[in-house]
A and B are shown apart, each in its own frame.
Chain A
């Protein structure tokens, strides 16, 4: 076997220019795939991280039917204490779940005593929220004198930056929030602007924050009620698996009408960024398909040329008794070796590119966010996948020329001019 590869390597080196050019083309394809996967993948990971760690959370449980009418933020689809307890019992029994936090989503009118506007609010339990969305505070700006450990106190509101600008509100200003409860009665309470929060993608990123106890008081809830339960896992990669388990367990909770009581969604079912993430995945697959086409056409071309130029040599091999399978193996080894060398060089250059991009981080703007820094990474599975595909396609592309070589009649091949 080693001897076959030795002969194959020498045959490749026999046509140095052609081998180098083909190898360069394949290498370029691999480098582009590695760099694109690294950049697109890190962008996707960064954005998903921002969405799940600073706003949305990784999964959410609601009363059945809430998400389909989420735009109106209905207050009649709440989780009472009894139902919340059922969810807590379920979540606490699952070792993969790191934390959960109750939330109330509401629309309110905000007045600065001069102007009035509407605001979407996320009412949270700050101590639990930071466990579910550990980066939520990183989007918020507070007074310099404030204790950085305190996210939100009762009586305080954190408002979106665009709204603060439009209403000319600063940290420390008093405001009034007025909201309708689920029965239609109106209530208003005084609050103080404790901080400003910057936007991220989607409607979720433009919400203000208030304390959950204040929301319950504003909405005149006699007993504590929640709209959603946000969930964080120990390992994000197990999201689909945990989601499947929780879905099946939640489906067992049936209401009096015999219908499911709860619904659970993962972040991608709730955020419009999931479509961009899917587009990124699609583009990555497209790049890989282009790379496969480059490898396939390049190696097929080289191997066909190689067989055509060496007909007499193939005739000699066959005449002196080399079996058709060995002749085929020799040409397959040439294709495989070409793919292997290109793959190794491509991986080295691609990884070097990733390393350089990590030193000179790429700064870019996306949506309303400026100065996002991309630090591309590529995991070993991705590299192995790319290399594996290249090797597989190299062998596949060599199959037809190798088969042709192995099927040549020695008497015809020896007489070839």
Chain B
């Protein structure tokens, strides 16, 4: 069974009297442990697609199943709980909490969402920090880290709860070429190590090459 099943999904935004179709009649399935990229020009619907799969937004029409659950029918509370349990997020602007250290940023979902005991928490954080090669930077605050380092911490935060799926919307957009390649390869390594499914969006051709499966979106349609 596919981890993500998308059936006849459309997303229409209403601006006054004008309707804009961000996604039109999408049908797609993504298997477990896949490393999938959505590519396309700006405004093609990549972010909307990731928001739908990541349970951040609901489709106007159609059905989305993630890990066997029809997530488009969930209410706000249930969606939040589902995201915490099943999905990890990596953001374009890293979105680390500036008042927390690298260690504490990774700890955040374990404390605020999972309520893991302290000992287990520490073990999980150190494991993931070691995996992303940031063990020696764990006590630094985000403003003391480079862009690439921040994104490594963001990857670690997304992976620490051992989610089945990690969503990454343009994770390399704010990074230089070397850092971008390093982050994508790190994500792929993590996918190999933990068996996590990664879905990311990009319009950078060098990053596209790293994906196992690439879906191209143009004007809200898969081509």
Contacts and interface: CB of A to CB of B under 8 A. Distances in A.
A414 B100 contact: no
Nearest to A319: B89
B113 A322 contact: yes
Contact of B84 (A14, A322, A414): A322
A3 B109 CA distance: 12
Contacts of B161: 321
B196 to A, nearest CB: 15
A316 interface: yes
Contact of B99 (A3, A10, A414): A10
Given A3-B111, A11-B99, A14-B99, A324 B77 contact: yes
B83 interface: yes
Interface residues of A, number: 24
Interface string A385-416: 00000000000000000000000011100100
Nearest to B56: A411
A7 B83 contact: no
Interface centre among A13, A316, A318, A322 (most CB of B within 10 A): A316
A326 B112 contact: yes
Interface in A293-351: 312-313, 315-324, 326
A322 B77 CA distance: 9
Contacts of A3: 111-112
Nearest to A13: B99
A91 to B, nearest CB: 65
B40 interface: no
Interface in A1-51: 3-4, 7, 10-11, 13-14
Contacts of A10: 99-100
Nearest to B158: A320
Nearest to A8: B99
B112 A322 contact: yes
Contacts of A11: 99
Interface stretch (B28-36, B90-98, B128-136, B198-206): B90-98
Contacts of B83: 319-321
Contacts of B85: 321
A315 B56 CA distance: 10
Interface in B61-83: 76-77, 80-83
Interface centre among B81, B97, B99 (most CB of A within 10 A): B99
Contact of B56 (A13, A313, A319, A322): A319
B100 A7 contact: yes
Contact of B54 (A13, A315, A319): A319
Given A3-B111, A11-B99, A14-B99, A320 B56 contact: no
Nearest to B99: A10
Contact of A316 (B77, B87, B97): B97
B157 interface: yes
A322 B91 contact: no
Given A321-B83, A321-B84, A410 B109 contact: no
Interface string B3-43: 00000000000000000000000000000000000000000
Contacts of A318: 80
Contact of A414 (B56, B111, B158): B56
Contacts of A320: 83-84, 88-89, 108-109, 113, 157-158
Contact of B95 (A4, A13, A316, A409): A316
Nearest to B84: A321
A410 B52 CA distance: 12
Nearest to B157: A320
Contact of A411 (B51, B84, B98): B51
Nearest to B95: A316
Nearest to A410: B56
Contact of A313 (B80, B82, B97, B113): B97
A315 B54 CA distance: 13
Given A319-B56, A411-B57, A414-B56, A324 B99 contact: no
Interface string B103-145: 0000011011100000000000000000000000000000000
B93 to A, nearest CB: 8
B56 A14 contact: no
A321 B113 CA distance: 6
A67 B113 CA distance: 71
Contacts of B54: 319
Contacts of B111: 3
A403 to B, nearest CB: 13
Contacts of A414: 56, 91, 95
B171 to A, nearest CB: 14
Contacts of A326: 112-113
Contacts of B157: 320
Contacts of B56: 319, 410-411, 414
Nearest to A312: B95
A7 B85 CA distance: 22
Contacts of A312: 93, 95
Smallest CB-CB A-B distances: 9 pairs:
A321-B84, A10-B99, A316-B95, A321-B83, A411-B56, A411-B57, A321-B113, A410-B56, A3-B111
30 contacts: A3-B111, A3-B112, A7-B97, A7-B99, A7-B100, A11-B99, A13-B99, A312-B93, A315-B95, A316-B91, A319-B56, A319-B83, A320-B83, A320-B108, A320-B113, A321-B83, A321-B84, A321-B85, A322-B80, A322-B84, A323-B80, A323-B81, A323-B113, A324-B76, A324-B80, A326-B112, A326-B113, A411-B56, A414-B91, A414-B95
